[in-house]
Amino acid sequence: MSFSETDVQGALKNLIDPNTRKDFISGKSVKNIKISGNDLSLDIMLGYSAKSVWGEIRAMVEAHLKSALPGVGKLNVNVSSNVVPHAVQRGAKLVNGVKNIIAVASGKGGVGKSTTAVNIALALAAEGARVGVLDADIYGPSQPTMLGITGQPEATDDNFMIPMSNHGLQAMSIGFLIGSDDTPMIWRGPMVIQALDQLLRQTRWDNLDYLVVDLPPGTGDIQLSLAQQVPVTGAVIVTTPQDVALLDARKGLKMFEKVGVKIVGIVENMSTHICSKCGHEEHIFGAGGGAKMCADYNTELLGSLPLDIRIREQADSGLPTVIADPDGSIAKEYKQIARRITVRIAEMAQDHSAVFPKIVVQNT
């Protein structure tokens, strides 16, 4: 029984990608269909980073095609990912070497924003992406400790800084540049904004798919200025289920909306507490707050994380959970959150500025 390219496309129209929740044809993932007799080969090119599920997707596509095309002989399905740049807010200057910037923010401190940011970055890297972290929390830089990085960055001849690295991430923080861990940053707002701009734009980022920016908590003048100046593809809001935290998280979400930054979704941290002695699970900060906020603002609850002593201990030791216990339940939750983030970004409008020629007007 012979079949055509149209038959292959028709079969894959009925197969849903579990990550995007769209069929592979409308998701434009199917490439390079080649038929030789009864043998078939094709590529599944995902627009999001998901290396950990490539095997599952390959097996799913192969099983579906064998069922839909009974005469198929040798079948070769190649699955890979290709991350492209997506549009940012108007007026924000792009950063060389960076395709997409993910801002991780919170309306208030103490909700686990920095811990969430570093684990999301590590989870994206585990999914095969090239990832960097920019510690924009100038007053309280914590990424050097969490990533276990010491020392200072090297400078190039043209006064760019080479990012520090560990665990497969490129990283930059004011913490790498100050004298010691207890040196306070007694700076006014404009100095902070200028410092962050230099950290962002004078770092020689090396072909990043995603740069995760750990923003300072709050919604004041500094945060607003940063949200306007940093070219953000999408923002992730971190909150706890507690009513007070949710009130501030709503303010953070509205701030991004006002400056034209798209909201990727919300991460509910410290969702439940599991007793390390008896295993009893309890919603000590309340329940359902993150889901209700998502419903109110028509955004997605990317995931919920427990209040677990291991998360704190691992981050403090310089081995965040995704590295310390990559196959554990908490790391799996971080990876699912990261996968949803990259899928959501893949669905956003692409940045086509690179395909248009630059017009230069000059006197001759």
What are the boundaries of each domain within the chain? Answer: 5-81, 98-346
Arithmetic mean of pLDDT, 256-269: 91
pLDDT value of residue 163: 95
Count of CA atoms in the C-beta half-sphere (13 A) of 57: 27
Q: Is the pLDDT of residue 101 over 80?
A: yes
State the Cα–Cα distance between residues 188 and 165, nearest whole angstrom. Answer: 29
pLDDT value of residue 252: 86
Arithmetic mean of pLDDT, 160-178: 92
Arithmetic mean of pLDDT, 207-236: 88
Arithmetic mean of pLDDT, 11-35: 93
Arithmetic mean of pLDDT, 223-241: 88
Q: Is the pLDDT of residue 232 over 70?
A: yes
Arithmetic mean of pLDDT, 77-96: 92
Q: Is the pLDDT of residue 54 over 90?
A: yes
Q: Is the pLDDT of residue 361 over 90?
A: no
Q: Which of 343, 120, 345, 111 is nearest to 213 (CA)?
A: 120
Arithmetic mean of pLDDT, 105-109: 84
Arithmetic mean of pLDDT, 232-240: 92
Whole-prediction pTM value? 0.89
Q: Which two tokens stand for residue 333?
A: 């939750």
pLDDT value of residue 304: 92
Q: Does domain 5-81 have CATH number 3.40.50.1260?
A: no
Q: Is the pLDDT of residue 331 over 60?
A: yes
Helix axes 309-316, 113-126, angle to 10 degrees: 80
Arithmetic mean of pLDDT, 100-112: 89
Question: Which has the higher per-residue pLDDT, 205 or 249?
Answer: 205
pLDDT value of residue 274: 73
The answer to whether 349 and 132 have CB atoms below 8 angstroms apart is no
pLDDT value of residue 185: 60
| pLDDT, mean over the chain | 88
pLDDT value of residue 303: 93
pLDDT value of residue 60: 95
Q: Is the pLDDT of residue 188 over 80?
A: no
Superfamily for the 98-346 domain: P-loop containing nucleotide triphosphate hydrolases (3.40.50.300)
Arithmetic mean of pLDDT, 225-253: 86
Q: Torsion angle, CA of 331/337/338/340, rounded to 10 degrees? A: 150
Q: Is the pLDDT of residue 355 over 60?
A: no
**Distances from the Cα of 352 to the Cα of 51, 99, 263, 349, angstroms:** 26, 12, 21, 9
